[in-house]
Structure 1
Amino acid sequence: MATHKILVIDDSRVIRNMVRDMLPKGNFEVLEAKDGVEGINTIHQEHPNLIMLDFLLPRMSGWEVFQEIQAKPNLRAPLVLMSGRKEEVTEKIQEPFEYFEFIEKPFEQRELVEAIKSAMVKFKKWPQPAMASAPAAGGATSSADVEALTKKIDKMQAEINMLKKQMAQILNFIKQKMR
């Protein structure tokens, strides 16, 4: 029985088959999803060890799948984003890609294997929220708790951004006075 699961989310059967054929033979199972909704459902059910995600998908885009994975740490796995147009990816996600790998279609087997290796390394750097490893005293964490914490994090990030902006303004003011 396969010990590792690789999920390929792409609306093109040709790409899904190509990825399956290019993967080195080993002790893993290749799962497939033809759109973002099916991909998210498969991630929830199967908890893959690696996700290969096309950026342009029907029903739920790769960007939306990526955002859901970002928002829910229990869905995370090493991630390789795939697209024939890198500029569409960089419009939404700024480089350098810190926690996942990107591969431009079409690609060769060597490029695919390197992207997977890189995604595995980058995944280890992905910050895990304290919440993911320490459930509430009651045992389980409710979605309301997670949502409340997410709102607090968003508020704190906005405050941090405001403080950074104020600090830059202060530094500019000091520089002007020192001239």
Structure 2
Amino acid sequence: MSTHKILVIDDSKVIRMRVKDMLPEGNFDIIEAKDGLEGFNLIRTENPNLIMLDFLLPKMSGWEVYQQIQKEQKFRSIPLVLMSGRKEEVTDKITEPFEYFSFVEKPFDREQLVDAIRDAMLKAKRQPQGTAEISQPPSSFTTADTSALTSEIELLKLKIAKLEKESEQMKKQFNQLVGFIKQKLR
């Protein structure tokens, strides 16, 4: 029996199936919802470990689902990946940088999806744990601040590692191209 549940809320069956196919093999169940209302009901009943949420949905929009998630601490702590074909639809409602969830623009590939999931998992840990909102910024660093900064540093380290890998690949390709040109010039 699977121990992790991933909820994919999207009105497009093609996207739901594509997400399902792109996810790495693992010990989890994929739960699908075709509209926002069904998706929010599944959030409440299934207690997913990750939510993949389309922003434009029938019956209850992704924006409305997001607002409902933000109202309850137990839902805010679930890693969330928002998906949309147009980023400006999201940024019209929620300003960047996206602090507590990850965003992936459609169409996306497997690597972008996995990166978004990792990012969402790190950001979910930064959610304030209390139910009351903090009206004033703290005057000194707290444990939560340190934890948030540590999470951000880990995220930056992942990005740096990815960039270094891409840089090495580009160097290899460049050297191959130079070798090919030299060979043709002989």
Q: Answer whether TM exceeds 0.5 for this pair.
A: yes
TM class, shorter-length? 0.7 to 0.9
Aligned length: 135
Q: How does 1:87-166 map to 2 (within 5 A)?
A: 87-129=88-130, 131=131
- TM-score, normalization: structure 1? 0.73
Distance 1:99 1:75 in 2: 12
Report the alpha carbon displacement of residue 112 of structure 1 after superposing the two structures with TM.
Answer: 0.2
User: What SS class does the counterpart of residue 65 from structure 1 fall into?
Assistant: helix
Name the counterpart of 2:8.
Answer: 8
Report the alpha carbon displacement of residue 4 of structure 1 after superposing the two structures with TM.
Answer: 0.3
Name the counterpart of 2:165.
Answer: none
Name the counterpart of 1:49.
Answer: 49
Name the counterpart of 2:64.
Answer: 64
Distance 1:49 1:22 in 2: 17
Instruction: Tell me how large the CA RMSD over aligned residues is.
Output: 1.4
User: What SS class does the counterpart of residue 92 from structure 1 fall into?
Assistant: coil
Report the alpha carbon displacement of residue 75 of structure 1 after superposing the two structures with TM.
Answer: 2.0
Cα distance per residue 1:10-46 (max 9 Å; x no partner): 0000000000000001100000000110001000000
Distance 1:2 1:69 in 2: 24
User: What SS class does the counterpart of residue 92 from structure 2 fall into?
Assistant: helix
Identity %: 66
Distance 2:62 2:24 in 1: 25
Q: How does 1:168-179 map to 2 (within 5 A)?
A: none
Report the alpha carbon displacement of residue 52 of structure 1 after superposing the two structures with TM.
Answer: 0.1
Q: Which runs of 5+ in 2 are unaligned?
A: 137-186
Q: How does 1:13-24 map to 2 (within 5 A)?
A: 13-24=13-24
Q: Which runs of 5+ in 1 are unaligned?
A: 132-148, 161-179
Report the alpha carbon displacement of residue 128 of structure 1 after superposing the two structures with TM.
Answer: 1.6
Report the alpha carbon displacement of residue 72 of structure 1 after superposing the two structures with TM.
Answer: 1.0
Cα distance per residue 1:91-144 (max 9 Å; x no partner): 000000011000000000000000000100111001122x5xxxxxxxxxxxxx
Distance 1:125 1:60 in 2: 27
Distance 1:33 1:73 in 2: 22
Distance 1:125 1:73 in 2: 12
Report the alpha carbon displacement of residue 74 of structure 1 after superposing the two structures with TM.
Answer: 1.8
Distance 2:129 2:67 in 1: 15
Cα distance per residue 1:139-178 (max 9 Å; x no partner): xxxxxxxxxx7xxx6xx85xx6xxxxxxxxxxxxxxxxxx
Distance 1:72 1:60 in 2: 17
